[in-house]
Amino acid sequence: MPTPDEIRERIERAIPGAEAVVDGPDGVHFSAVVTSGAFAGRPLLEQHRMVMDVFAGELGGAIHALSVKTKTS
């Protein structure tokens, strides 16, 4: 079962300059607020896709749900 800290590390490793705050008290539903300059100028859909892609294949499985909020600063 992934921990919020693992989710945070994986997001920060995958997205340049990202800082993530991840919450997931039950170990299967997570919410992440991700701040990265890499989101600047990209459509919201693409920003969210950058975060979702980190967990491709796991969403709906080990990670039941990942709620995402992206910020550029």
Q: Which residues bind other proteins (CB under 8 A)?
A: 44-45, 48-49, 52, 55-56, 59-60, 65-69
Shortest separation between residue 31's beta carbon and other proteins, angstroms: 9
For the chain, what is the largest distance between any 2 Cα atoms, rounded to a whole number of angstroms? 34
The smaller minimum CB distance to other proteins, of residues 13 and 69, is found at 69
Shortest separation between residue 2's beta carbon and other proteins, angstroms: 15
Closest CA to 38 of 24, 25, 27, 49: 49
Shortest separation between residue 1's beta carbon and other proteins, angstroms: 19
Count of alpha carbons within 13 Å of 55, Cβ hemisphere only? 25
Structure-block tokens of residue 6: 């693992």
The smaller minimum CB distance to other proteins, of residues 31 and 38, is found at 31
